[in-house]
Amino acid sequence: MELEELYKEIQPRIYAFFFVKTSSKESAEDLTHEVFYEAIKGLPQFSHNSTIQTWLFSIAKNRLKKYYRSQKYKKDLETLYMNEEKVTNTPEEELLKKEEQRNIIQQINQLDDLAKEIVTLRVYGELSFKEIGILMEKSENYVRVTFHRAKLKMQKEMEGYHG
């Protein structure tokens, strides 16, 4: 597969992964760019022990850790200010925003860290259970069972909101 095709296929998944993790369009765009920049620099060292997609997501996970370390306090402050000075959107935009972000992302964020990571990689990264297992250093079956349990828990919670 040509590099450009690969980028077109995987870039939206990496972006979605970062967007869910950071809740920021700008951060997700920057981090996605950094992943592919690092990948191009590191391509000669790519060992083919995993799929290129798994390799790219391992780079993404490392970039996210660096982002969290550098942004922790800044993000907390921004969240405080954003809650005080909300940008006004149309009622439709506000409703969509609330539905999407509060329901799904809130449900994901209520999971324990391991389940949260597995669900995010599976849903937004579109990785296979095997690929997630490699990234998380867990068995494919462990990842599959954890994902299934997390999905059931989220469905139960979502029904609670609508019931």
Render pLDDT for 42-72 as a digit per residue (tens, 0 to 9): 888 887 788 888 889 999 999 988 888 776 5
In the DSSP assignment, the letter for residue 89 is: -
Nearest by Cα to 55 from 134, 138, 137 = 134
Domain boundary among 86, 118, 151: 86
Q: Considering 57, 86, 115, which residue would you say is the last residue of a domain?
A: 86
**Residue 124 and residue 46 in contact, taking contact as beta carbons nearer than 8 Å:** no
C-alpha to C-alpha distance for 38 and 136, rounded to whole angstroms = 20
Do 79 and 102 lie in a common domain? no
pLDDT at 163 over 50: no
For the residues 96-109, what does the mean pLDDT come to? Answer: 68
Q: How many of the other CB atoms lie within 10 Å of CB of 145?
A: 14
Domain finish residue from 60, 86, 112: 86
The more confident residue out of 122 and 139 is 139
How sure is the predictor about 85, in pLDDT bands with cuts at 50, 70 and 90?
Answer: very low
d(CA 27, CA 102): 19
Do 58 and 123 lie in one domain? The reply is no
CA-only gyration radius of the chain, Å: 17
Instruction: Assess whether 74 and 94 both reside in one domain.
Output: no
Tokens of 2: 């040509």
| Number of domains observed in the structure of the chain | 2
What is the band of 145 on the pLDDT scale with cuts at 50, 70, 90? very high
For residue 83, pLDDT beyond 70: no
pLDDT at 162 over 60: no
Assess whether 13 and 79 both reside in one domain.
yes
Whether 28 and 96 map to the same domain: the answer is: no
One domain, residues 40 and 70: yes
Structural domain for 6, as ranges: 1-86
